[in-house]
Structure 1
Amino acid sequence: MDAGLEEKIQSQGMTPGTVAQQIENFKNGFPFLKITAPATPGDGIRVLSEDELAHFTQTYPKRAAQLDVVKFVPASGAASRMFKDLFSFLDGDGDLSKSAFTQKFIANIDKFAFYSDLDAALKAQGSSIQASLDEGDSKKIVSALLGEDGLGYGNLPKGLLRFHRYDTENRTPAQEHLVEGLQYAVGKNNKVRIHFTVSPEHEEKFKAEIASVLPGLKAASGVDFEVTYSQQKKSTDTIAVNMDNTPFEEEDGSLLFRPAGHGALLDNLNDIEADLIFIKNIDNVVPDRIKGTTKVYKMAIAGLLLEVQEKVFQALRGMESEYRDAYAEMAERVFTGDLGGKLPADFQTYSSNEKANFLKAKLNRPIRVCGMVKNTGEPGGGPFWIQEADGSQSLQILETAQIDLGDPESKKHFQGSTHFNPVDLVCGTKDYTGNSFDLMKYRDMQTGFITEKSKSGRDLKALELPGLWNGAMAGWNTLFVEVPLITFNPVKTVNDLLRDEHQ
């Protein structure tokens, strides 16, 4: 790498070594992962019984009251993709008959939680929703929704849009996450801690929204809240390259670095000091009337994590005592039974010392329990068994791009997958001595993604870091639990808000 290029890299706060490795990734690509089987109920996915659900809903709240619990909500994504079809309608000739999506939106305009806000915005412009409908001017309504002279929804993050209507208020996803936090994330000192990752331009708006609703929530619940924010770090950006893998230079000669996908949020997660961390996307919220199932299963997966983690910690502490061999046998039972891990085929030929060292390394890692819903065709990472270099097998959440569909065996396993991950995770990020793991040590840097983009009319290649719940957690101990489909209600388009689950 020449001195001029190194200087440009350093001027943007990046290290030449990191950028050189990123360029190598562009040149070489990323290897497919070796799938040994899909994770299915009974083989990698646990299905909890009614007795287990009852047990965890009784025991978890008592344990949580002694712990630092945090709800981690990635919330920086813009809502512009929610309105893709409405933007196309605005850019067109305003003929409603040409856009079935916009027809549905307009026909059901009174069912959206933002109806009254939108009507007020139009009245401020000397019109109203009803007047615009009477005039057949759908464009005026859509423009008031998306434009900066109206509600400005086209440039806001999802977390700040009105999703759900109640008798006395209309809630945003940000507010719904606070309410949901009261149901399963009350930790020690009777406090709910919620952390939003936000984009810089929206942080003040998030703070204003939260400040407007927190006093009422505190007064009604008697529970304290601690809401914090972070932004995706510039140091996690990755270099963009031309199609020949040379660094992409802007017109002013500077190098182009781009945000590296949700895997970059591992840095933010690594900064969270907590005993238990829930992770859930900003748009996967429902009205109060159907929050009950979410509450039960969130308590269940967290309760399961705490019970398994306790056994892991007991085994690890015991292996440091004079009864190392006896606890090594316990560690094997915990790894294969409670964690469901699969040992190398030749494990029984290992010496006692080799077995103990292997098991200690396997157990002393961050742990996560991931909810899995039955696959109904929604996009999302799937659960699979993966062959590890040490001969063991681990559970991983894989995206389709990580699977070699040209390989008949891998394709068969992919087609046999029955579930997918709706970003429903609970994480234990402290070790058996009470210290936080350095999460950066447990990611697989060979599981990134390369995509093709364009800038200023020129094609380029972009690099995403290992996904937050994919390769970024590849080195974690993982449990998969089946959760009901009703717990997964993402909002990908504005018309998804018309589904019964959001009404």
Structure 2
Amino acid sequence: MDAGLKAKIMDQGMDPDTVAVQINSFKNGFPFLKITAPAIPGEGIRVLSEEELARYTNTYPQKAAQLEVVKFVPASGAASRMFKDLFSFLDGDGDLAKSGFTQKFINNSGKFAFYADLDAALKAQGSSLQACLDEGDSKKIVAALLDEEGLGYGSLPKGLLRFHAYDSENRTPAQEHLVEGMQYAVGKGNTVKIHFTVSPEHEEKFKAEIAKVLPVLKTASGLNFEVSYSQQKKSTDTIAVNMDNSPFVEDDGSLLFRPAGHGALLDNLNDIQADLIFIKNIDNVVPDRIKGTTKDYKMAIAGLLLEVQEKVFQALKGMDSEYVDAYTEKAEKVFTEDLGGRLPGDFDTKSPQEKTAFLKTKLNRPIRVCGMVKNTGEPGGGPFWIQESDGSQSLQILETAQIDLNDPDSKEHFQASTHFNPVDLVCGTRDYQGNSFDLMKFRDMQTGFITEKSKSGRDLKALELPGLWNGAMAGWNTLFVEVPLITFNPVKTVNDLLRDEHQ
């Protein structure tokens, strides 16, 4: 790297060595991962029996009451993609017949939780929602929803939009996550801790929304709440390059750095000090009437994690004792039976000391239990077994881009996959001695993503860090559990709010 480029990088507060690695990633690309099989029920995905579900939902609350529990909610992005079709309609000629999506939105406008707010915004402009409907002025309705002069939904984050209507209130996802947290994330001190990762321009709006609803929730529940926020760190941005892999230089001479996807939030997660951390996306919430199944399975996957983690900790402590040989045998069972790991083919040929060292390394890691839903054609990563460099096999969540579909075996495994990742995780990030793991040590930097974008009319390549639940957790111990499809109800477009699950 020449001195001029290095100076520019440093002037913009970034690390030249890190940027050099990023540029090399553009040049060399990322290797595909070696899949050995899809994770399916009975082979990598656990299906809980009614007895197990009952046991975990019964034992988990008592255990959680002694622990620091946090619910971590990535909530940074603007909701603009939710309204892509409405923006296109607004920019077009206003012919409703050409846009089935907008027609559906207009015809069902009374079913949205933001109906009253939208009506009030139109009244402030000297009209009303009903008047616009009567006059066929669909553009005015859409503009009042999206533009800053109206509700400004086109530039707000999803967490602050009205999703669900109730008799006495209309809730945002941010509020729904607080209500949901009351059901399964009550930890030490009878406290519900929620952490939102937000964009800098939205943090004050989040705080204002939470401040409005917290007093009511506290009074109604008798629980304590701690709501915290963090922003995606500027230091995690990655350099953009031209199509020839040279740094993309802006018109003002500065280098272009871009946010590096949800994998950048590993830094934020690493700052959370807790015994248990639930992770769930901001838009995957449902009304109270169908929260029960989500509550049960959240408690179940957390109960499973605590049960397995206790066995892992016992094995690790035992291997530190004078009874190391006996506990090494126990550790092998914990790894293969409780964690479901697959040992390398030459494991039996190793010496006792080598086996102990191997199992210590394998067990002394962060642990996560991930809910998996049956594949219904939704986009998203899936659960697979992959080959590790030490000969063992591990469970990973892979995106399609990480799989070589030109390789017949990989394609066959991909097509045989039965489940996908709804982002439904509970994590144990402390070790058997009570110390927090440095999560940065357990990510696989060879699992990033390269995408093509454009800026100022120029094509560029952008780099995403290993995804938060993909390569960023590649070195964790992972358990997959089948969860019901009803627990997965994301809102990708505004019309998704018309689905029965959100009404």
Q: TM-score when scaled to structure 1?
A: 1.00
The equivalent residue for 1:253 is: 253
Matches within 5 A, 1:67-106: 67-106=67-106
1:459 is paired with a residue of what secondary structure? strand
The equivalent residue for 2:151 is: 151
Residue 348 of structure 1 aligns to which amino acid in structure 2?
D
Bigger shift: 5-14 or 207-216? 5-14
Q: Does 1:278 align with 2:278?
A: yes
Report the Cα offset of residue 191 of structure 1.
Answer: 0.2
Matches within 5 A, 1:409-424: 409-424=409-424
Report the Cα offset of residue 133 of structure 1.
Answer: 0.8
The equivalent residue for 1:370 is: 370
Question: How many Å separate the matches in 1 of 2:99 and 2:486?
Answer: 30
Question: How many Å separate the matches in 1 of 2:452 and 2:496?
Answer: 28
2:154 is paired with a residue of what secondary structure? helix
Residue 300 of structure 2 aligns to which amino acid in structure 1?
A
2:285 is paired with a residue of what secondary structure? coil
The equivalent residue for 2:319 is: 319
Question: How many Å separate the matches in 1 of 2:404 and 2:180?
Answer: 39
1:195 is paired with a residue of what secondary structure? strand
The equivalent residue for 1:300 is: 300
Q: Does 1:47 align with 2:47?
A: yes
Matches within 5 A, 1:5-404: 5-404=5-404
Question: How many Å separate the matches in 1 of 2:3 and 2:24?
Answer: 18
Question: How many Å separate the matches in 2 of 1:259 and 1:138?
Answer: 35
Residue 242 of structure 1 aligns to which amino acid in structure 2?
N
Identity rate of aligned residues, in percent?
Answer: 86
2:246 is paired with a residue of what secondary structure? coil
Report the Cα offset of residue 13 of structure 1.
Answer: 1.4
Question: What root-mean-square deviation, in Å, do the aligned CA atoms of Structure 1 and Structure 2 show?
Answer: 0.4
Report the Cα offset of residue 76 of structure 1.
Answer: 0.4
Report the Cα offset of residue 81 of structure 1.
Answer: 0.4
Report the Cα offset of residue 14 of structure 1.
Answer: 1.1
The equivalent residue for 1:450 is: 450
Residue 454 of structure 1 aligns to which amino acid in structure 2?
S
Question: How many Å separate the matches in 1 of 2:423 and 2:367?
Answer: 15
The equivalent residue for 1:486 is: 486
Report the Cα offset of residue 388 of structure 1.
Answer: 0.3
Kindly provide the CA deviation profile for residues 89-118 of structure 1, in whole angstroms up to 9, marking residues without a partner as x: 100111110100011000000000000000
The equivalent residue for 1:441 is: 441
2:226 is paired with a residue of what secondary structure? strand
Residue 215 of structure 2 aligns to which amino acid in structure 1?
P
2:241 is paired with a residue of what secondary structure? coil
Question: How many Å separate the matches in 1 of 2:196 and 2:61?
Answer: 23
Question: How many Å separate the matches in 2 of 1:125 and 1:25?
Answer: 52
Residue 48 of structure 2 aligns to which amino acid in structure 1?
L
Report the Cα offset of residue 3 of structure 1.
Answer: 1.0
The answer for unaligned runs of 5 or more in structure 2 is none
The answer for unaligned runs of 5 or more in structure 1 is none
1:446 is paired with a residue of what secondary structure? helix
Q: Does 1:477 align with 2:465?
A: no
Question: How many Å separate the matches in 2 of 1:142 and 1:14?
Answer: 41
Residue 298 of structure 1 aligns to which amino acid in structure 2?
K
1:273 is paired with a residue of what secondary structure? coil
Question: How many Å separate the matches in 2 of 1:448 and 1:79?
Answer: 24
Question: How many Å separate the matches in 1 of 2:11 and 2:441?
Answer: 27
Kindly provide the CA deviation profile for residues 173-202 of structure 1, in whole angstroms up to 9, marking residues without a partner as x: 000000000000000000000000000000
Residue 123 of structure 1 aligns to which amino acid in structure 2?
K
Question: How many Å separate the matches in 2 of 1:308 and 1:152?
Answer: 47
Residue 423 of structure 1 aligns to which amino acid in structure 2?
V
Question: How many Å separate the matches in 2 of 1:330 and 1:77?
Answer: 45
1:490 is paired with a residue of what secondary structure? coil
Bigger shift: 11-20 or 468-477? 11-20
Question: How many Å separate the matches in 2 of 1:174 and 1:25?
Answer: 36
Residue 377 of structure 1 aligns to which amino acid in structure 2?
G
The equivalent residue for 2:425 is: 425
Report the Cα offset of residue 397 of structure 1.
Answer: 0.2
Question: How many Å separate the matches in 2 of 1:484 and 1:134?
Answer: 42
1:13 is paired with a residue of what secondary structure? coil
2:386 is paired with a residue of what secondary structure? strand
1:310 is paired with a residue of what secondary structure? helix
Residue 337 of structure 1 aligns to which amino acid in structure 2?
E
Report the Cα offset of residue 6 of structure 1.
Answer: 0.6
The equivalent residue for 2:406 is: 406
Report the Cα offset of residue 235 of structure 1.
Answer: 0.3
Runs of 4 or more consecutive aligned structure 1 residues displaced over 3 Å after TM superposition? none
Residue 105 of structure 2 aligns to which amino acid in structure 1?
F
1:154 is paired with a residue of what secondary structure? coil
Report the Cα offset of residue 11 of structure 1.
Answer: 1.1
1:227 is paired with a residue of what secondary structure? strand
Question: How many Å separate the matches in 2 of 1:212 and 1:189?
Answer: 23
Question: How many Å separate the matches in 2 of 1:74 and 1:215?
Answer: 23
The equivalent residue for 1:460 is: 460
Report the Cα offset of residue 252 of structure 1.
Answer: 1.0
Question: How many Å separate the matches in 2 of 1:7 and 1:397?
Answer: 38
